[in-house]
Amino acid sequence: MNFIINKKVQFQELGTKDYQPAWDYQEELLKKNLDIKIHNRENPEDQKSTDNYLLFVEHPHVYTLGKSGHEENLLANEAKLKEIDATYVKVNRGGDITYHGYGQLVGYPILDLENFYTDIHRYMRDLEEVIIRTIAEYGLQGERSGGETGVWLDVGKPYARKICAMGVKASRWVTIHGFALNVNTNMRYFEYIIPCGITDKQVTSMKRELEREVDMEEVKDKIKKHFAAVFGCELI
């Protein structure tokens, strides 16, 4: 049985979309790939390639809690959520609680890692590398923080802060969920959670660090460029 390697990644711009429909769509693409894998296992003489996707989306205000997260890290009750026009969703990714909202670029790579490498740890580091390279073009030095996923500024200093959160899930090496880069995000919404369950570090955005509004389309183009380079893929 010869597995057909496919390193083409279909890019899709979803615009502004509620969290649940975007999650449902990821699950739909995941199932499509899992069905292909079942077909390949059962039909060794008729192999089909799996598909890879990179979705970009902005979500209306929502707090999402990962499967290993703690509900007490959501500091807003139901009345407060209604007041700030936010929703709350429990999800099947790793990680704790995070916020998604307008001005934040969310990227969902649905990749069959068997097309690239079968290493979730490396996958997370590569996602971080994409963001590190992207914000470097704006003069921001992104770093990794030991034992904590995502991209950070000033790691090891009292004012260390996270600029990009990450959380993923993989089924038979097919990934869903991904990263959330704070570009022009309204940081007030982070006041209602303990982001990622981390109490001793802050969160920030490109806008806050650069003290100016950042062109979202420009950021998207840079992420796509670095994503293709880091993963050695072709975006189509």
What pTM was computed for the model?
A: 0.95
Question: Which among 155, 144, 162 has a CA at the least distance from the CA of 209?
Answer: 162
Q: What is the dihedral of CA 163, 93, 147, 116, to 10 degrees?
A: -90
Q: For residue 74, what are the CA distances in angstroms to 18, 64, 78, 95, 134?
A: 19, 9, 10, 14, 30
- Which pLDDT score is estimated for 200? 61
- Which pLDDT score is estimated for 206? 98
**SS3 (DSSP) at 95:** coil
- Which pLDDT score is estimated for 134? 98
Q: Is 233 a catalytic residue?
A: no
- Which pLDDT score is estimated for 3? 76
Question: Which among 131, 103, 101 has a CA at the least distance from the CA of 193?
Answer: 101
Give Cα 56 distance to the centre of its chain. 9
- Which pLDDT score is estimated for 199? 62
Q: What domains appear along the chain, each with residue ranges and CATH number?
A: 9-229 (3.30.930.10)
Q: Which residues of the chain have pLDDT under 50?
A: none
- Which pLDDT score is estimated for 94? 81
| Catalytically annotated residue among 62, 196, 214, 223 | 196
**SS3 (DSSP) at 110:** strand
Q: What is the dihedral of CA 117, 118, 121, 127, to 10 degrees?
A: 40
- Which pLDDT score is estimated for 30? 98
